[in-house]
Structure 1
Amino acid sequence: MSRDDNRNEKGRLKRKVYEKELVRLQADLCRLQDWVRSSGARVIIVFEGRDTAGKGGTIKAITERVSPRVFRVVALPAPSDRQKTQLFIQRYIEQFPAAGEIVIFDRSWYNRAGVEYVMEFVTKDQHKRFLELCPIVEKMIVEGGIQLIKIWLEVGKDEQKRRFQARIEDPLRQWKLSAMDLESYPKWYDYSRARDMMFEATDTPYAPWYIVRSDDKRRARLNCIAHILSLIPRHDVARKRPKLPKRARSGHYDDQASLEGRRFVAETF
Structure 2
Amino acid sequence: MTSPAKLSKKAYEKELLRLQAELVAMQHWVVTTGARLVIVMEGRDAAGKGSAIKRITQYLNPRTCRIEALPKPTEREQGQWYFQRYVERLPAAGEIVIFDRSWYNRAGVERVMGFCTSQEYRRFLHQAPIFERLLVEDGIMLRKYWFSVSDEEQYDRFVARREDPLRHWKLSPMDLESISKWEDYSRAKDEMFVHTDIPSAPWYTVESDDKKRSRINVISHLLSTIPYEHVEQDLPEIPQRPQSGSYTRPPRGEFRYVPDAAAKLEEKKKGKKA
- TM-score of the superposed pair, with normalisation by structure 2: 0.92
Match of 1:65 among 59, 64, 70: 59
Match of 1:157 among 136, 151, 156: 151
Match of 1:262 among 222, 247, 255: 255
Asked whether 1:189 is paired with 2:176, we answer: no
Match of 2:231 among 225, 234, 237: 237
- Report the residue type matching 1:260 in the other structure: G
Asked whether 1:104 is paired with 2:98, we answer: yes
* Distance in 2 of aligned mates of 1:247 and 1:88: 56
* Distance in 2 of aligned mates of 1:72 and 1:259: 40
Shift, 1:258, TM fit: 5.5
Alignment of 1:43-62 (within 5 A): 43-62=37-56
Shift, 1:268, TM fit: 1.8
Specify every segment of 5 or more residues in structure 1 that has no aligned partner in the other structure, as ranges.
1-6
* Distance in 2 of aligned mates of 1:238 and 1:262: 44
In the TM superposition, structure 1's runs of 4+ consecutive aligned residues that sit over 6 Å from their partners are: none
Shift, 1:69, TM fit: 1.5
Secondary structure of the corresponding residue to residue 66 of structure 2: strand
- TM-score of the superposed pair, with normalisation by structure 1: 0.93
Share of identical aligned residues, percent? 55
* Distance in 2 of aligned mates of 1:79 and 1:258: 54
Match of 1:80 among 74, 77, 98: 74
Supply the RMSD in Å over aligned alpha carbons.
Answer: 1.5
The one-character-per-residue Cα deviations of 1:159-213 (angstroms, maximum 9, x if unpaired) are 0011011111121221110121122321000000000000000000000000000
Specify every segment of 5 or more residues in structure 2 that has no aligned partner in the other structure, as ranges.
263-274
Residues 260 and 27 of structure 1: CA distance in aligned 2, closer, same or farther (over 3 Å): same
The one-character-per-residue Cα deviations of 1:215-239 (angstroms, maximum 9, x if unpaired) are 0000000000000000110111012
Shift, 1:142, TM fit: 0.6
Match of 1:113 among 107, 110, 122: 107
Q: Which residue of 2 aligns with 1:200?
A: 194
